[in-house]
C-alpha cells in the first residue's frame, strides 16, 4: 500500500514537473516583453541595460538557428571551420544589433493577442506594439521554435508582415554573392560592424 | 478610357512574356517552391545602388529634416493630414478593389470617401470609422496586375521615388493615363477647383507623412544594416508580395522551407 502511495506520489510529481516545464509560446513572449520593458524603463546606465537585454536574447532566442538560416544556400558550402567562425561572429553581431535596436525605446508596450500552432516545430504568436504620439501601432508576430516544448525559442520577428530573419538572410546573401560567393567577405563586413 | 485599355493590354503581354524570359535564364524563381514567394532579379544592381545612394543623400538633406519638422506639429494636425491623404488615395483604391473583385471593400471605401469628404471636411476627420466603416488596405494598379497573375519583372530603384519593379512602375503609369481621379482633376484636366500644385503638394506631403511615421525605424535599419541597399530591397519586395496576396496572417506569408532543416534542439 505504501509502495502504491509512493508510486502515485511520484507519478503526480512527474506529471507536475512536466506541466511546469512545458512553456506556452505566448507566456514566453509575455515574460520577455515584461522583462525587457522593465529594463528599458529603468534608470540603469545604457551599458547595464545592454548587458541585461543580451541576457534575455541569449536565453530566449535561437541565435545559432537564425545564424544558419541567414546563411541561406551558402550554409551548404561552408566547411566546419568557417561555420564555427561564422557562428561566433553572428552571435556577436546579433546581440549588438538586438540591443542597439531596443535600447532606443523607453517603455515599449506590447500586448500578446493570440497564437497559432503551425506544426510541431513552430507556433506564431501575434502581438501589437501600442501606438505612441510619434508612431502608429505596429503589428509584431513572433515565430517560436517549439521542437522542445520545454524550451521554446524565438526564431523570427515579423513586423507588419515583414520578416526580419528573411531580410537579414537576403542582406548576407547579397554580400556573399557580390563577392563571387566568398564567405570571407561576410566575415569582414561583420567584423567591421562589430568594431564600429 | 481607350488609353487605359491600351496600357492594360500592353502590360498583360509584356509582363507575361517577361515571366517566361526570366524563367529561361534560370536565375529568377517564379512561383518556385518557396510558398509561391517570387524571387525577383535585380537586373541593374550597380546602377540601382548608385541611384539608391543618391536617394540617401537627398533623404538626409531634404526629406528627413522635413519629416522631423513635420513631427513637431501637434498630433491632431498630423492625424488630420494623414486622414486627408488616405481619403484622396481612395480614388485609386476603389477602382483597384473593383478590378481585383473586392466588391465589398469597393463599397466600403466608396462610402468612406463620400462621408469623409463631406462630413469629415475634405477627409481631415475620419467620420466614417465612427459609423463603423473601418479603414481598408490601400490598393494600386501594380497590386492589381500582381493579383491578375503578372510577374514583378526586374527590381529597380527610381531617383527620388525609390524602390519599384517593372510591374509596379507600369502600375504607376496607369495613374497618369486616367487611372487616378485625383490626377485627372488636378493635372490632366483644367478644372477651376484644383491646380497642379494641389496634386504635387499632396504627393510630397504623403512622402513626408510616411517618412515621419518611420523616422526611428529607418534610423534603426540604417544603424544595424551591413548592406542597407539589400535590406531595403528585401523589405520592399516582401511588402509588395504580402499586399498583392492581400494576406494579413503571418502563417500564410512565410515559408517554412528554409527553416525545416534547421534543427538546433
B108 is written with which cell numbers? 466600403
Q: State whether A161 and B242 contact (CB < 8 Å).
A: yes
Interacting residues of A73 by C-beta distance below 8 A, sequence separation 6+ = A173
Strand order in the sheet with A110-117: A110-117, A122-129, A138-145, A153-159, A162-163
**Residues A37, A108: contact at Cβ < 8 Å?**
yes
- Residue found under cell 517560436: A144
Q: Is the pLDDT of residue B32 over 90?
A: no
Distance CA B20, CA A193 (A): 40
Look at residue B14 and tell me whether its pLDDT is greater than 70: no
The percentage of residues in chain B with a pLDDT greater than 90, rounded to a whole number, is: 68
Measured between beta carbons, which residues in chain B are less than 8 angstroms from residue A158? 250, 253-254
> Which pLDDT score, from 0 to 100, does residue A150 have?
86
> What pLDDT, in 10s, does the model give residues A12-46?
444 444 444 567 888 889 888 888 888 888 888 88
Among A122, A161, A171, whose Cβ lies nearest the Cβ of B231? Answer: A171
Q: How far apart are CA B147 and CA B241, in angstroms?
A: 10
In the prediction, which pLDDT does A47 show? 86
User: Pairing mode, if any, of strands A162-163 and B162-165?
Assistant: unpaired
pTM higher than the cut 0.90: no
Using the beta-carbon criterion (under 8 Å), do B225 and A171 form an inter-chain contact? yes
Average pLDDT (B250-264) is 61
Mean pLDDT computed over B163-184? 93
CB-CB contact of B241 with B253 (8 Å): yes
Report the distance separating Cα B205 and Cα B106, nearest Å: 25
Q: How far apart are CA A140 and CA A126, in angstroms?
A: 6
Contact A161 B234 (CB under 8 A): no
Q: What is the rounded distance in angstroms from the CA atom of residue B232 to the CA atom of residue B238?
A: 10
Asked if pLDDT for residue A94 goes beyond 80, the answer is: yes
Of A194, A176, A187, the closest CA to residue A84 belongs to: A187
Cβ of B251 within 8 Å of Cβ of A124? The answer is yes
Question: What is the distance between the alpha carbons of residues B178 and B40, in angstroms, rounded to a whole number?
Answer: 29
CB contacts < 8 Å between A and B, how many?
107
Q: Which helix (H) or strand (E) holds A29?
A: helix A25-40
| CB contact (8 A) between residue B265 and residue A153 | yes
Is the pLDDT assigned to residue A181 strictly greater than 70?
yes
Most confident of A91-105, A144-158, B73-87: B73-87
Give the model confidence (pLDDT) of B74-125 as tens digits: 999 999 999 999 999 999 999 999 999 999 999 999 999 999 999 999 999 9
For B245, other C-beta atoms within 10 Å of its C-beta total 16
Residues 36-65 of A with CB under 8 A from B: 62, 64-65
> In which region does residue A44 sit, left (phi positive, over 0), alpha (psi from -120 to 50) or beta (all else)?
beta
Q: How many CB atoms lie within 10 A of CB A64?
A: 15
DSSP symbol at A61: B
- 3-state SS record for chain B: CHHHHHHHHHHHHHHHHHHHHHHHCCCCCCCCCCCCCCCCCCCCHHHHHHHHHHHHHHHHHHHHHHHHHHHCCCHHHHHHHHHHHHHHHHHHHHHHHHHCCCHHHHHHHHHHHHHHHHCCCCCCCCHHHHCCCCCCCCCCHHHHHHHCCCCCCCEEEECCCEEEEHHHHHHHHHHHHHHCHHHHHHHHCCCCCCCHHHHHHHHHHHHHHHHHHCHHHHHHHHHHCCCHHHHHHHHHHHHHHHHHHCCCCHHHHCCCHHHHCCCCC
d(CA A146, CA B265): 9
Q: For A156-177, how does the pLDDT look when each residue is reduced to its tens digit (9 = 90+)? A: 989 888 899 999 999 999 999 9
Amino acid at each position: 500500500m505504501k509502495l502504491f502511495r509512493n508510486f502515485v506520489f511520484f507519478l503526480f510529481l512527474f506529471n507536475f514537473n512536466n506541466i511546469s516545464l512545458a512553456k506556452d509560446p505566448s507566456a514566453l513572449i509575455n515574460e520577455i516583453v515584461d522583462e525587457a520593458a522593465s529594463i528599458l524603463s529603468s534608470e540603469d546606465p545604457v551599458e547595464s541595460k545592454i548587458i541585461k537585454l543580451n541576457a534575455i536574447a541569449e536565453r530566449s532566442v535561437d541565435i545559432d538557428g537564425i545564424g544558419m538560416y541567414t546563411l541561406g544556400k551558402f550554409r551548404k558550402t561552408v566547411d566546419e571551420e568557417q561555420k564555427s567562425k561564422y557562428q561566433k561572429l553572428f552571435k556577436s553581431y546579433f546581440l549588438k544589433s538586438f540591443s542597439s535596436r531596443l535600447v532606443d525605446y523607453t517603455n515599449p508596450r506590447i500586448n500578446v493577442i493570440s497564437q497559432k500552432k503551425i506544426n510541431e516545430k513552430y507556433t506564431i504568436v501575434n502581438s501589437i506594439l501600442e501606438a505612441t504620439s510619434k508612431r502608429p501601432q505596429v503589428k509584431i508576430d513572433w515565430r517560436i521554435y517549439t521542437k522542445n516544448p520545454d524550451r521554446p525559442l524565438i526564431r523570427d520577428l515579423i513586423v507588419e508582415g515583414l520578416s526580419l530573419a528573411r531580410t537579414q538572410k537576403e542582406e548576407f546573401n547579397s554580400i556573399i554573392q557580390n563577392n563571387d560567393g566568398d564567405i570571407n567577405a561576410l566575415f569582414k563586413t561583420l567584423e567591421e560592424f562589430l568594431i564600429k | 478610357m481607350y488609353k487605359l485599355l491600351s496600357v492594360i493590354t500592353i502590360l498583360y503581354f509584356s509582363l507575361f512574356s517577361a515571366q517566361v524570359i526570366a524563367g529561361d535564364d534560370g536565375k529568377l524563381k517564379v512561383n518556385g517552391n518557396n510558398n509561391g514567394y517570387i524571387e525577383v532579379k535585380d537586373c541593374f544592381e550597380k546602377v540601382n545602388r548608385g541611384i539608391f545612394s543618391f536617394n540617401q543623400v537627398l533623404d538626409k538633406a531634404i526629406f528627413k529634416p522635413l519629416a522631423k519638422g513635420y513631427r513637431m506639429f501637434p498630433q491632431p494636425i498630423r492625424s488630420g493630414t494623414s486622414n486627408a491623404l488616405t481619403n484622396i488615395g481612395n480614388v485609386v483604391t476603389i477602382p483597384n478593389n473593383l478590378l481585383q473583385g473586392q466588391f465589398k471593400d469597393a463599397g466600403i471605401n466608396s462610402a468612406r470617401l463620400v462621408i469623409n469628404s463631406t462630413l469629415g471636411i475634405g477627409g481631415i476627420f475620419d467620420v466614417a470609422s465612427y459609423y463603423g466603416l473601418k479603414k481598408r488596405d490601400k490598393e494600386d494598379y501594380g497590386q492589381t496586375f500582381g493579383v491578375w497573375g503578372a510577374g514583378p519583372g526586374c527590381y529597380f530603384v527610381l531617383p527620388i521615388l525609390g524602390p519599384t519593379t517593372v510591374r509596379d512602375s507600369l502600375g504607376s503609369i496607369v495613374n497618369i493615363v486616367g487611372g487616378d481621379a485625383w490626377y485627372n482633376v488636378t493635372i490632366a484636366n483644367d478644372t477651376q477647383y484644383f491646380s497642379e500644385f494641389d496634386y504635387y503638394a499632396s504627393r510630397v506631403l504623403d512622402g513626408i507623412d510616411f517618412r515621419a511615421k518611420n523616422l526611428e525605424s529607418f534610423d534603426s535599419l540604417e544603424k544595424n544594416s551591413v548592406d542597407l541597399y539589400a535590406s531595403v530591397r528585401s523589405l520592399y519586395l516582401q511588402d509588395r508580395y504580402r499586399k498583392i496576396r492581400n494576406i494579413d496572417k503571418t502563417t500564410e506569408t512565410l515559408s517554412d522551407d528554409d527553416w525545416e532543416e534547421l534543427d538546433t534542439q
